[in-house]
């Protein structure tokens, strides 16, 4: 199982940072992936993927674990990491 990790720094409160993730969460739904929130952490749930999102005082950390189905579907870990980083940067800096 390969993992993708992305860290997005921020200078917001945790609740404001979590609000910034709404667009990211909507984008995930297009791929049948959801976030199950519990406080400042969320479990990533989807077919062939799992992981978590953690909203900290100065950064948001995203870790996605690619299962066998994701690999079989041709999901490239490097491209996925770049895509997540780009979307998080746009959410926090845009």
Tens-place pLDDT, residues 4-59: 999 999 999 999 999 999 988 998 999 899 999 999 999 999 989 999 999 999 99
Instruction: Give the pLDDT confidence score for residue 75 in this predicted structure.
Output: 86
| Structure confidence at residue 85 as a pLDDT band (50, 70, 90) | very high
Contact 69, 63 (CB under 8 A): no
Instruction: Give the number of C-alpha atoms closer than 13 A to the C-alpha of residue 71, restricted to the C-beta side.
Output: 8
Cβ neighbourhood burial of 14 (10 Å; 0-12, 13-18, 19+): middle
pLDDT for position 69: 82
Q: Which domain holds residue 71?
A: 2-93
Residue 93: band (very low, low, confident or very high) from pLDDT cuts 50, 70, 90: confident
Number of domains in the chain: 1
pTM for the predicted model, two decimal places: 0.91
86: domain CATH number is 3.30.310.50
């Amino acid at each position: 199982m390969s993992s993708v990790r992305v860290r997005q720094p921020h200078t917001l409160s945790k609740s404001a940072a979590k609000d910034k993730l709404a667009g990211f969460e909507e984008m995930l739904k297009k791929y049948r992936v959801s976030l199950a929130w519990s406080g400042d952490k969320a479990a990533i749930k989807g077919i062939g993927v799992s992981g978590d999102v953690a909203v900290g005082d100065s950064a948001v950390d995203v870790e996605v674990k690619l299962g066998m189905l994701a690999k079989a579907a041709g999901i490239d870990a490097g491209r996925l990491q770049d895509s997540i980083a780009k979307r998080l940067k746009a959410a926090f800096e845009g």
